[in-house]
Structure 1
Amino acid sequence: MKALHVITGLGVGGAEQQLRLLLRHLPVDCDVVTLTHPGAVADGLAADGVAVTHLGMAGNRDLAALPRLARLVRSGRYDLVHTHLYRACLYGRLAARLAGVRAVVATEHSLGDSQMEGRPLTRGVRALYLAGERLGRATVAVSPTVAARLTRWGVPASRVEVVPNGIDLARFRFDPAARERTRQRLGLPPGAFVVGGIGRLAAGKRFDVLVRALARLPEDHWLVLVGGGPEENVLRRTAHDARVADRVLFTGERPGLPDGGPGPDLPSLVSAMDLLASPSPEEAFGLAVVEGLAAGLPVLFASCPAVEDLPPQAAPGARRVTGGPDAFARAVAEARARGPRPREAPEAARHYDITRSAARLTEVYTAVVEGRPLPSAAGRPPTAPVTPASPASHTSPAPSPSPSSSLSPSSSLSPSLPPSPSPQGVSSS
């Protein structure tokens, strides 16, 4: 099978990095087209051996991009087109139809109750989305919560399939040596209690809540924000005004050191943390929270369908926090007072192994190409993880299932997926 992935941009973001990780594990020959901004993730895909084409789209209304995209689809002789993010879903579905490809899948990465990718959910946005959706055969939701939102919008349930985001469990496993090395390189004082936040520095992520919470905590608490975005300067001013600027570290999109040297990667940064906090009030999945859990961290979140859609015992170290800086400061203080715990991944993290997501998506592709009902509509359980078509160096062998898991092998963790295997090698978001 040959597939073309169409995405709005390839800067550093959750959907973009999830695409790169997924392509390492799909047993499908895949190319990628980015409508705009071939950034760091495009470089990473190229390093992985994936062909990436930049369409050079000038803006949302650059209609001249449509025939160019249709020609790419037609000349590539693709069996299937898979679109990601709002603009790419609109243009990609239509281009596929113009090119004669009927097997079209779209992933909904970031549909909230009131916004999609940061844009308000107006009637116009919804109407245009639903009009484009009819040109495809399946819409993938990254969580049951997003699937429910789609069906409330009017997308037929028979066309919606849940394929959760996945993580690299092996990479995020807690590494005590990396923890000490990273804390030293970042200049963190001995004994500092480090609260971490991961994600795009955008207003909707509400990292200002963590900055203000830090001002309510003792001076041995530090905040490390991993990511870049338009709100970085605002957050720096907030930290300055709250008199905590000397205890807030910004790593940027590509974590580096003050001297310009290469910095630690994301798993090393997570190992260096003592707690992960996600104050974003409206998430479609909550990948950063799952990454924190994979490293054995206690996590605090305002919204995380990835955890909320599972039984509470699947993530005993996760806690939902409602409220602003005061509530998060209290929750951090309470978590620290409970003392350190063994840094082991709970069942919730193991549930989201990327190989399971790849296996599920492969089933969706097969059903769409063959014109059959989607796996959940057909009432079939998903298959076991598949062997990727990409080089074997991308994966690691899976250890045996953990005997200490709080859920039995026959238990059900979600409406769409069976309980997970133990950790397996994959990559970060």
Structure 2
Amino acid sequence: MKVLHVITGLAAGGAEQQLRFLLPHLRARCDVAVLTGSGVVADAIARTGVPVHQVGMRGNRDLRAVGRLARLMRRHRYEVVHTHLYRACVYGRLAARLANVPAIVATEHSIGREHIEGRRLTLPVRALYLASELLGHLTVAVSPTVADRLAGWGVPRSRIVVIPNGVDGRAFGFDAALRRRTRLRLGVPARAFVIGGVGRLEPGKRFDTLIEALPALGSAVLLLVGSGSYEPRLRQFAGSVGAGHRLIFAGESTDVRAMLSAMDVLAAPSAEETFGLAVVEALAAGLPVLYDACPAVDDLPPGSAPGARRVPPDRLAAELAALAARPPGRLPPPEAVRLYDIRRQADRLESLYLRLLGAVPTEDQR
């Protein structure tokens, strides 16, 4: 089985990292097509031997990308096209139809109540998404929360399948030696209490609330892993509250394990998430987690993630201060990490591919 994964970009975001970690666990022969740019995740994928095709899309209205994608699909005779992120879903599903690809799947990673991948959900954005959805066969929602939002848009439930994101717990296990090396490289004192934030540096992630809390946290250090348009504003804000010397911008990183090993707590203050992959990765690394919105935890049975606690923004500084005063140390990975095992999710995706290709009988055919 030949599968082409089409994704908008390959910077170090949640959807991009998820694709990178998923590929080694898929038995199908997989290629990747990236619409715009490259990035650290593209390089990491290519180093594993998976071909990464650059489409060279120059803007949201570069319709030539559809033709380039369709020619790529015809040339390699892919049996499945699997799209990820808004632009890739719109352009990739159309190209797959033009190329007569037998099975067309999309994963919806980032649909929020008011935004999708940072863009406002205007009527034209929503209409274009729904029109392109009709060109595919199924849409994978990364959480029941996302499935409900898709259904609320008007996507039939029969065309939605929930397959959560996956995590390889062993790949994120805590490493004391790695912690020492990473702190040394970043210039973090060995005994410092490190608050971590992982994700795109955009307003919706609300990392400014962590910066605001820093002055009351003694010698604690804030380590932000990611990049984005909001970084200059965050730097300016840190300077204005006198916390700039205790704030480290690590930039994009494919070695998330190293960054998590260097931290003592992960804080995820975002008000809206579609899954919360960084939270599950942090739990796999044995970190306590303070979050405001995380379907990955909230959709699980109670007690599956005891190290993760919902904390509203007005309580965040106090909770961080309590942890800094009495650091809990490393926690055992909770049941949530096993429930989101990436091998299980890869098996479910491959079964979905085979069902769409007619290789696995449906319930009606049994």
Q: Out of 333, 342, 350, which is 1:362 matched to?
A: 350
Please say if 1:281 is aligned against 2:286.
Answer: no
Describe the shift of the 1:373–1:128 C-alpha distance in structure 2 as closer, same or farther (beyond 3 A): farther
Deviations 1:212-242 (A, max 9, x none): 111232x221111111221111111111111
Q: Distance in 1 between matches of 2:145 and 2:338?
A: 19
Task: Return the alpha-carbon distance in structure 2 between the equivalents of residues 336 and 316 of structure 1.
Answer: 19
1:354 Cα offset (Å)? 1.0
Partner of 1:5: 5
Aligned-partner Cα distance in 1 for 2:336–2:106 = 25
- Matched with 1:250 is 249
Q: Which amino acid aligns with 2:239?
A: H
Q: 1:166 corresponds to which residue?
A: 166
1:320 equivalent in alignment to 2:310: yes
More helix by share: 2
Aligned partners of 2:307 and 2:331 also within 8 Å: no
Residues of 2 paired with 1:146 and 1:72: CA distance? 30
State how far apart, in whole Å, the 1-side matches of 2:263 and 2:42 are.
Answer: 28
Equivalent residue number for residue 177 of structure 1: 177
Q: Equivalents in 2 of 1:282, 1:373: separation in Å?
A: 38
2:70 touches 2:95 (CA, 8 Å); kept in 1?
A: yes
Cα pair distance change 1:254/1:298, threshold 3 Å: closer
Aligned to 1:223: 222
Matching residue of 2:262? 272
The structural deviation recorded for 1:342 is 4.3
| Cα displacement (A) at 1:102 | 3.6
The alpha carbon displacement at 1:132 in A equals 0.7
Q: Tell which deviates more after alignment, 293-302 or 64-73.
A: 64-73
| One-letter amino acid matched to 1:138 | L
Taking a change above 3 Å as real, the CA distance of residues 182 and 11 of structure 1, as seen in their structure-2 partners, is: closer
Q: How does 1:333-348 map to 2 (within 5 A)?
A: 333-337=321-325, 339-348=327-336
- Counterpart residue type for residue 317 of structure 1: G
1:369-408 pair list within 5 angstroms: 369-370=357-358
Name the amino acid aligned to 2:278: A
* Residue equivalent to 1:294: 284
| More deviation, 202-211/336-345 | 336-345
Alpha-carbon contact 2:11-2:252 (below 8 Å) kept: no
Q: Which amino acid aligns with 1:274?
A: D
8 Å contact kept, 1:12–1:41: yes
- TM-score normalized with structure 2 length: 0.95
Cα deviation, 1:378-412, whole Å, max 9, x if unaligned, reads: 7x9xxxxxxxxxxxxxxxxxxxxxxxxxxxxxxxx
Percent sequence identity over aligned pairs? 59
Q: What is the 5 A alignment of 1:10-29?
A: 10-29=10-29
The answer as to whether partners of 1:198 and 1:288 remain within 8 angstroms in 2 is yes
Aligned to 1:409: none
Residue 93 of structure 1 aligns with which residue?
93
Distance 2:91 2:330 in 1: 48
CA RMSD of aligned residues (A): 2.0
- CA displacement at 1:306 relative to structure 2: 0.4
- The SS at the match of 2:25 is coil
CA distance in 2, matches of 1:312, 1:192: 33
Give the CA deviation at 1:343. Answer: 2.6
For residues 11 and 172 of structure 2, the distance between their equivalents in structure 1, rounded to whole angstroms, comes to 22
* Cα distance in 1 for residues equivalent to 2:327 and 2:71: 59
Residue segments in structure 2 that go unaligned for 5+ positions in a row: none
Larger RCO, structure (CA 8 Å, separation 6 or more) = 1
Residues in 2 aligned to 1:171 and 1:53: alpha-carbon distance in whole angstroms: 27
> Residue 395 of structure 1 corresponds to which residue in structure 2?
none
Q: Which amino acid aligns with 1:289?
A: V
User: Which blocks of at least 5 consecutive residues in structure 1 are unaligned?
Assistant: 256-264, 381-429
Q: May I ask how many residue pairs the two structures share in their alignment? A: 366
Measure, in 1, the Cα distance between the counterparts of 2:66 and 2:251.
34
Aligned to 2:267, the other structure's residue is in SS state strand
